[in-house]
Amino acid sequence: MASAASAALLSYLSLSFPLLPHYSPRGTQPHAAAAAASAEKAASLSPLGFRCLRAAAASLAAMAGQERRTIDLEEGWAFMQKGITKLKNILEGKPEPQFSSEDYMMLYTTIYNMCTQKPPHDYSQQLYDKYRESFEEYITSMVLPSLRDKHDEFMLRELVKRWSNHKIMVRWLSRFFFYLDRYFISRRSLTPLEQVGLTCFRDLIYQEIKGQVKGAVIALIDKEREGEQIDRALLKNVLGIFVEIGLGSMECYENDFEDFLLKDTTDYYSLKAQSWILEDSCPDYMIKAEECLKKEKERVGHYLHISSEQKLLEKVQNELLAQYATPLLEKEHSGCFALLRDDKEEDLSRMYRLFSKITRGLEPIANMFKTHVTNEGTALVKQAEDSASNKKPEKKDMVGMQEQVFVWKIIELHDKYVAYVTECFQGHTLFHKALKEAFEVFCNKGVSGSSSAELLATFCDNILKKGCSEKLSDEAIEDALEKVKCVEVFKEFYQTRTKHRKLTWIYSLGTCNINAKFEAKTIELIVTTYQAALLLLFNGSDRLSYSEIVTQLNLSDDDVVRLLHSLSCAKYKILNKEPANRSISPNDVFEFNSKFTDRMRRIKIPLPPVDEKKKVVEDVDKDRRYAIDASIVRIMKSRKVMGHQQLVAECVEQLSRMFKPDFKAIKKRIEDLITRDYLEREKDNANVYRYLA
């Protein structure tokens, strides 16, 4: 039958594949052999090849169907058994030639015939059962024993090999029995062949051995955790089995392996953490934690299934970080506070990275950050307070300096910790908020009577002034030599540069170099514009009284006092003053001090700065007075008559958005308004006011 079948096949093939040499059914042997060889080549065992062969065999069988001899079950099965045995031998590694396409064809055809025979010789059901039995027999006789007598890593290797073999066996057998899949199985909605095969392995081997396998794998993992080298490829393959054996679902992997892995991981790191937290400093602990997380992630990449990553890392984070957050962060000399104190930015960045992954892990850190910044700021406030209260009366001007220094320091503090927020804490809103709240706490503390708002305003004022004066001087130097010309040239220059702008000179910021011809030698004096103007007056008169100076300079008394002080009562006495005390009075008379000299040839005569703070306070007070007045008038205009306490209360309410006026201030304003005839007291009740239209 074989030769008849192959002859038929050849002729069929020659029809399908015109390139093949044409052979008559009764070809000579050499030709037949060659033909067989070509056929084998032509019909490789690729899926396409299989299909071709199947098709060929089917048609062949169909053509030969009428004259077919009935194969009875035992006979047919014996034939199949040979094939199966051959396959087993190959898998066992015994010397056995590979299946030829002819072999395959025969096996397939046998099945086909036995399934298509007329009852009672259609053996589909039996063949289906025998198919399964083949696996079962093989597994129980060969596979299980081989696994049972091995342990640990050896067992794992054996398992991987057996699984691989099994898959091949399933693939081949299901191809032999394929015809069952096509009609019998699908018609009766039975389990397909491939699945049957795999399920056998699962039920007979996997179920028995999975516990051991899991144990062995986890043991290896723990070994690797302790630093030993393990066979990662092996683990990858073993875990591949867990995945594949689920036949499309991850159930086996998760229930039979992953759950145990997670438990083991938890226990492992819990133990580690217990000792690390006692032995290690916070930064060291964190470095270890970060390393562990990195390693576990790599583990996933090497052999665990990707779906384990999230769960695994969560466990590690929980055991190492979440459980020990408080003792870790609050470690005495190395915890969060210490790191902030010692500017350990790298460690703080690590802390952020680690704790940002934990639910609400950043909150305690943000709080500590806030506390730390608050403390730093409060210390600066105290420092400024202390140095302000230690001031000596003569050094009153230095107070302003201290407060300016304070503002600089506050700005530096802010810059420093803003950098921390953006770099270490990756700009997280929690930390922005913490920084803001910290600054709110100590910025609302006053420093020697001034609020921080005042100090900042004064500070900005100084910055602007200093900046401006430099600019003006530069531009002045750039231009002509003579004073007058300089101004005009600059004016023209300015007009050409910027149209539609008014040029206003800020004389108080200009500087001037004056050559003063003293008896001993000529000295160059570097003074402000106003000082220069004052000195130049003495070119016209030897002696000048205070009032004459005021008249000629046309400046305010305050300004003139400052100027005269700087020239007659300070370090360099350019002018002599009568009487020769240290304060300027309107009765003083001044004279050019020709006897003045100094070893330097050029002296800068500084002007003491105006007590800006006082001025700021005055201006603010003035503004507030107007605001209070307006509020009182508004209220009284609408109510006409009102009692004192009620008026005060309403006034405070109205102004509450801007500032908190004190009762005395309001009283004073009311009295003033009475004097100005806006209000009057009621005739019979002095506590009640009436609006005067």
Partner 1 sequence: MRRSSKKSSSSAAAATAGPTRGVSKEIERIDQLFYTYADSSSGMIDPEGIETLCSHLEVPHTDIRILMLAWKMGCEKQGYFTLDEWRSGLKALRADSISKLKKAFPELVTRPSNFQDFYPYAFRYCLTEDKKKCIEIPVACELLNLVLSLQFRPQVDKLVNYLKHQSEYKVINMDQWMGFLRFCNEINFPSLDNYDSDLAWPLILDNFVEWLRENKSFQHWGL
C-beta closer to partner 1: residue 276 or 689: 689
C-beta closer to partner 1: residue 565 or 624: 624
CB of 690 to partner 1, least distance (A): 12
Neighbours of 303 (CB within 10 A): 23
CB of 432 to partner 1, least distance (A): 45
User: How far is it, in rounded angstroms, from Cα 686 to Cα 643?
Assistant: 9
User: How far is it, in rounded angstroms, from Cα 636 to Cα 693?
Assistant: 10
CB of 618 to partner 1, least distance (A): 16
3-state helix, strand, coil split of the chain in percent (to 5) is 70, 5, 25
C-beta closer to partner 1: residue 401 or 692: 692
DSSP state of 569: T
Residue 593 phi, psi (nearest 5):
-90, 90
CB of 642 to partner 1, least distance (A): 10
C-beta closer to partner 1: residue 499 or 664: 664
CB of 680 to partner 1, least distance (A): 9
C-beta closer to partner 1: residue 386 or 680: 680
C-beta closer to partner 1: residue 443 or 665: 665
| Residue among 650, 678, 677, 682 at smallest CA distance from 663 | 650
C-beta closer to partner 1: residue 284 or 671: 671
C-beta closer to partner 1: residue 182 or 668: 668
C-beta closer to partner 1: residue 478 or 671: 671
CB of 675 to partner 1, least distance (A): 5
C-beta closer to partner 1: residue 29 or 687: 687
C-beta closer to partner 1: residue 188 or 668: 668
Q: Could you tell me which residues are beta bridge partners of residue 549?
A: none
Does residue 514 contact residue 524 with C-beta atoms inside 8 Å? yes
CB of 569 to partner 1, least distance (A): 26
Quickly tell me which residue has 């000299």 as its tokens: 597
CB of 653 to partner 1, least distance (A): 16
C-beta closer to partner 1: residue 162 or 669: 669
Contacts of 668-675 spanning 24+ positions with Cβ under 8 A: 669/625, 669/628, 669/629, 669/632, 670/632, 670/644, 672/629, 673/629, 673/632, 673/633
CB of 679 to partner 1, least distance (A): 10
Amino acid at 586: P
C-beta closer to partner 1: residue 8 or 673: 673
Residue ranges binding partner 1 (CB under 8 A): 643-645, 663-664, 667-668, 670-671, 674-675, 681, 686-689
User: How far is it, in rounded angstroms, from Cα 368 to Cα 350?
Assistant: 16
User: How far is it, in rounded angstroms, from Cα 483 to Cα 476?
Assistant: 9
User: How far is it, in rounded angstroms, from Cα 409 to Cα 455?
Assistant: 12
C-beta closer to partner 1: residue 497 or 664: 664
CB of 648 to partner 1, least distance (A): 8
CB of 674 to partner 1, least distance (A): 5
DSSP state of 99: P
Q: Which residues contact 388 (CB under 8 A, 6 or more apart)?
A: 399, 402, 403, 447, 448
CB of 652 to partner 1, least distance (A): 13
CB of 609 to partner 1, least distance (A): 27
What tokens does 438 get?
Answer: 């910290």
Quickly tell me which residue has 């702008």 as its tokens: 501
User: How far is it, in rounded angstroms, from Cα 594 to Cα 575?
Assistant: 8
Q: Distance between alpha carbon 643 and the CA centroid of its chain, in Å?
A: 61
Give the Å distances, CA to CA, from 260 to 210, 272, 304, 320, 358.
12, 18, 13, 19, 23
Angle between helix 396-423 and 362-389 (nearest 10): 170
C-beta closer to partner 1: residue 538 or 689: 689
User: How far is it, in rounded angstroms, from Cα 537 to Cα 532?
Assistant: 9
Neighbours of 663 (CB within 10 A): 12
CB of 529 to partner 1, least distance (A): 36
CB of 682 to partner 1, least distance (A): 10
Alpha-carbon torsion (117, 118, 120, 123), positive or negative: positive
Secondary structure element (H or E) that encloses residue 516, with its range = strand 511-517
Output the 3-class SS for 281-332: CHHHHHHHHHHHHHHHHHHHHHCCCCCHHHHHHHHHHHHHHHCCHHHHHCCC
